[in-house]
Amino acid sequence: MVLGPAPYYSEVMPDIFDVIADGTRRDILRLLLDRVADGERGTSVSHIVTELGVSQPTVSKHLKVLREAHLVSVREDGQHRYYSLSPEPLDEVDDWLVPFLGDDETGWDGVSTLPDSAAHAAEVVGRAAASAKHALESALKKLPGR
CA distance 112 to 41: 46
pTM for this structure? 0.61
Q: Is the pLDDT of residue 141 over 80?
A: no
Q: How many CA atoms lie within 13 A of 62 on its CB side?
A: 20
The mean-pLDDT minimum among 65-69, 72-76, 108-112, 117-121 falls in: 108-112
Q: What is the pLDDT of residues 16-73, one digit of tens each?
A: 889 999 999 999 999 999 998 888 889 999 999 999 999 999 999 999 999 999 999 9
